[in-house]
Amino acid sequence: MTFNGGLGFENSYYLATAKTAPVFPALAGDMSADVVVVGGGCTGLSVALHAAERGLSVVLLEGGRVGWGASGRNGGQIIPGLRKGADELVRRLGEARARAVFDLAFEARDLVTDLIARQGIDCDLSLTGHLTLAAKASDFTHMAAEAEVLRRWNYPHARLVAPAEARVLVDAESHGALMDSAGGHFHPLNYALGLARAAGEAGATIFEHAVVTDIAKDSEGVTIATDNGQVTARFAVLAGDALASGLAPRAEARIMPVANYIAVTEPLDFAHELIASNAAVSDSRFVVNYFRLTPDGRLLFGGGERYRRSPPEDIATFVRPHMEKVFPRVKGARID
C-alpha cells in the first residue's frame, strides 16, 4: 500500500486537528475469526462494527494507519444521492428503479448521521446543506429538471436557488444552484477514528501495519496472509478501494487514478463572508471544485485533477490557482 504513504498525510489539516487516535497493534502470529476485513477506512470499519454488533468475531487488517486512506483525507462533504442525479437515473433506469436506487443512496446518508449520534462520534458534524453551483446556464437548466423529479418524489430537502440568492449563499460566480438541505460536512478522519473506537468496543480486533500479501480460498473459507501472520475466516471483505494493490486483479483492472488535491488556508477573518450559508459546496464542472469552511475559520478547497498516482511536488501550489479563481479575495492567503 505504498500509495497510502506517499502524500505526506502527516502534514494534513485533518491529522493536525484529529482526536486522539486509538492505538492498534501489529498482527503477530495466526488467528481465526468469522469475518476478516482488509482495509481500515470507513467501509472496513463499518463492516467490522456492524458484524461485531451482530455477534460475529471480526479481525480487521489495515496496511498502514486506520483512516489514512481516502477516508481520512477527503473533502468531508455529506452529499445525499449518487454521482448521477435523479433526473438522469429516471432516463436510464425508469421511474421505479431510479427511485429505489436514490432511496438506497439516501439511506447511506442516514446511516452515517445515525452512527455519529449513536456512537457519540465527535467529528464537527454540520448539517447546513450541500449546494451545487451551476458553472453554465445549461447546468442550471439541468438542475431545474433535477428539482422537478425530486419534487415529484416528495423529496423535501431540495430546492432550486436563483443566481442572485446563490451569490448571497456563496461569494462566487455562478448561474444559480441546487440546494439540498439534508447535506452538510464533517471531519472525515475523526469520523473514521470514531468508527474504529466503536468497532473495538463492539468486540472487533483491529491491527495496523498489517500489509496483506496473499488471499487463499477453499471450501472452508479464506486465509488472509501478511508478513507477520495470517487470519483464517469464514468470510472476507476486501475494503481497500484503490489501495488494495495486487489483492483483487479483476477490480484493479477497472480502476484508474483520478487524483484531486485539497489545500486549507490560514484562518480568515472574512471566511464566513465567502460561504455565508456554511454549506458544503461543489460546482458542476467536469473537473469539480469543492469547498467548505472549517470550524476554526479556514477555507478548505479541493480543485484540479491529475490522472496518475504520483502527487504534485507542491500540493498547495497546485491547488492555489483553482481556489483563487473561485475566490479572488483569498489571493495571497497563506496555505497551512
How many beta carbons lie within 10 A of that of residue 277, not counting itself? 19
pLDDT: is 8 or 193 the higher one? 193
For residue range 177-197, list pLDDT tens digits in order: 999 999 999 999 999 999 999
Q: Is there a contact between 72 and 217 (Cβ–Cβ < 8 Å)?
A: no
Tell me the CATH number for domain 2-12+23-73+189-243: 3.50.50.60
**Nearest CA-CA partner of 226 in 239, 242, 208, 243:** 208
Give the Cα separation of 32 and 129 in Å (integer): 44
**Nearest CA-CA partner of 21 in 62, 77, 51:** 62
Given a cut of 60, whether residue 160 has pLDDT beyond it is yes
* Chain-centre distance for alpha carbon 88: 23
Average pLDDT of every residue of the chain: 93
Determine the average pLDDT of the residues in 169-173: 97
**Nearest CA-CA partner of 260 in 300, 216, 231, 217:** 300
Contacts of 141 (CB under 8 A, 6+ apart): none
Q: Is there a contact between 263 and 334 (Cβ–Cβ < 8 Å)?
A: no
Give the Cα separation of 255 and 219 in Å (integer): 29
Give the Cα separation of 223 and 38 in Å (integer): 12
* Residue pointed to by grid coordinates 508478513: 227
Strand partners, 38: 61, 238
For residue range 30-81, list pLDDT tens digits in order: 999 999 999 999 999 999 999 999 999 999 999 999 998 889 999 999 999 9
Q: Would you list the domain boundaries of the chain?
A: 2-12+23-73+189-243, 123-184+257-330
Q: Which pLDDT score is estimated for 328?
A: 97
* Class in CATH terms, 123-184+257-330: alpha beta
Q: Is there a contact between 55 and 238 (Cβ–Cβ < 8 Å)?
A: no
Give the Cα separation of 47 and 52 in Å (integer): 8
